[in-house]
Amino acid sequence: MPKQRPDGPDAAESPDSATSGDASGSGVSRRGFFGFAAVGAAGLAIGGAGGAVTANALGRAAAPASGQQIPFRGAHQAGIVTPAQDRLHFASFQLLRSTDRAGLVALLRDWTEAAEQLTRGRDVGETGAVSGPPLAPPEDTGEALGLNAANLTLTFGFGPGLFESEDGTDRFGIRDRRPAEFEPLPSFAFDLLEPELTGGDLCVQACADDPQVAVHAIRNLSRIAMGRARIRWSQLGFGRTASTSTAQDTPRNLFGFKDGTANLMAEETDELPRHLWVPEDHPQAWIRGGSYLIARKIAMTIETWDRASLREQEQIVGRTKGEGGPLSGGGEFDSPNFAAFSSDGGPAIAVDAHVRLAHPDSNGGVRMLRRGYNYVDGNNPLGQLSAGLFFICFQNDPATFVRVQRALKTDTMNEYLRHIGSGIWAVPRGIAAGEFVGQALFE
Ligand code: HEM
């Protein structure tokens, strides 16, 4: 087990605590690891001397007090209703052909142990970044030394290929555990998916308030997976495009509009079991309390959008750009009135406006929890930004997303969008004390 720091939160904080945040843990940083080495862990003194002394000599101040910890264990996985953090590193992993069921289980155990450490703001491994033997590569890559947990959450998902390989084989002996509703996504109108940005056996969504913390987590999980799985595709996101709590301000996407206003929120406790969490009477016990994560990498032609008039932009969305109120009138959180008419006699919210087509009233009442991020991946040779929305949503039935995405077929926003990446993963329920992620699937 990784080393505990003497003044760490472990004594006070139950690992499966249901409450988030630990103000007293604000100073809990990887720096604490040096503290441990410095107070005389004799076994580490030789190997860790260089790192510990250097770190102490650097005399770094304690990590900023803003960082808090989100409990890794609980009834549901963290990173879903957790108030959306500002930064994302998402990775889809492909299991290597040589990985068998025992190898997959071992990987999930190792990831669970590392994830628990990472979400506490600690190094991974027994000796971390700088306290191991000098002649061996460090167990932790080290770029998060001195940083606190920054509200890191790690959310794990299982792809359809885990249950049946492309060649039809039941490689991991879990084909009969596949929930009936869990299938690869169908093709949608206007899909321009790039195969290298699509699918994957496992996914890890790392969200944090500090991008370095999120990247450090994915990098170390990828390192731990070496020889068993490799990253198939991945994405950095720099700004959340949704609120998942009524306590949060609504952020903006790269079209400049508020995004997440009508999202499913953590406080809607009656709605979450209806729309988000897989019910307790689901025939597959391992997915009860879990959810389904769908990710879509949506390129946005922002240079073209920027030439559209304000009125046109607002008509495409169906909301005002400033306050984000529906074009039928009212403030941001007033319900849209789809029956209202504008002064020119047409519908106040156009028939092909995004919010009309995506609204539950147009989709049999279904709702999803959106948790996407803005991205910019450099630029293309024409000098245009390769920008977009890394759309992520969670729902208790993938049919919800399929229904809404199909409804968006006539969305005028499509003129400015290209769906280039896609994936679906089943997100097992939360991880109980002593368990590894998805354990019930393999029992
Ligand atoms: C780059 C692509 C997209 C952009 C820029 C975008 C932008 C927006 C904006 C500005 C809103 C209004 C504010 C809000 O309630 O959040 C909204 C609402 C919504 N969007 Fe999107 N969206 C995109 C893609 C999608 C996709 C792919 C889906 C699902 C298939 C989706 C589902 C929804 C839903 C369900 C709502 C709330 C509708 C309501 O209840 O009023 N969006 N989106």
pLDDT tens profile 125-170: 999 999 999 999 999 999 999 999 999 999 999 999 999 988 899 9
Whether residue 26 lies inside any domain: the answer is no
What is the extent of the structural domain holding 218?
A: 39-443
d(CA 201, CA 425): 8
Question: What's the pLDDT at 30?
Answer: 52
d(CA 104, CA 30): 29
Nearest CA residue ID for atom 25, ligand 1: 391
Whether residue 64 lies inside any domain: the answer is yes
Question: What's the pLDDT at 289?
Answer: 98
Evaluate whether 398 touches 185 at the Cβ level (below 8 Å): yes
Which residue among 391, 394, 415 has the greatest number of ligand 1 atoms within 8 angstroms of its CB, and so is best to mutate? 391
- Per-residue pLDDT, averaged over 410-437, amounts to 98
- Per-residue pLDDT, averaged over 290-305, amounts to 98
Whether residue 258 lies inside any domain: the answer is yes
d(CA 379, CA 241): 21
Q: How many independent structural domains does the chain possess?
A: 1
pLDDT level of residue 67 (50, 70, 90 thresholds)? low
Q: How far is the CA of 307 from the centre of ligand 1 (A)?
A: 21
* Ligand 1 atom closest to residue 404's alpha carbon, by position in its atom list: 30
Evaluate whether 363 touches 373 at the Cβ level (below 8 Å): no
- Per-residue pLDDT, averaged over 310-329, amounts to 98
Local structure of 145: helix, strand or coil: coil
Whether residue 126 lies inside any domain: the answer is yes
- CB neighbours (10 Å) of residue 275? 20
- Per-residue pLDDT, averaged over 406-434, amounts to 98
Whether residue 25 lies inside any domain: the answer is no
Residues in the ligand 1 pocket, defined by CB under 6 Å: 253, 255, 257-263, 296, 298, 300, 317, 319, 354-355, 358-360, 368, 389, 391, 401, 404-405, 408, 417
Whether residue 165 lies inside any domain: the answer is yes
Whether residue 437 lies inside any domain: the answer is yes
* Ligand 1 atom closest to residue 242's alpha carbon, by position in its atom list: 16
Which residue among 258, 323, 368, 370 has the greatest number of ligand 1 atoms within 8 angstroms of its CB, and so is best to mutate? 370
Alpha helices in 120-210 (DSSP H): none
Q: How far is the CA of 111 from the centre of ligand 1 (A)?
A: 33
Whether residue 229 lies inside any domain: the answer is yes
Distances (CA, A) of 433 to 49, 79, 80, 94, 102: 34, 18, 19, 27, 21
Indicate whether 390 pLDDT > 60: yes
d(CA 217, CA 143): 10
C-alpha torsion 274→276→280→283, nearest 10: 110
Which residue among 188, 243, 257, 259 has the greatest number of ligand 1 atoms within 8 angstroms of its CB, and so is best to mutate? 259
Quote the radius of gyration of the chain (alpha carbons, Å). 23
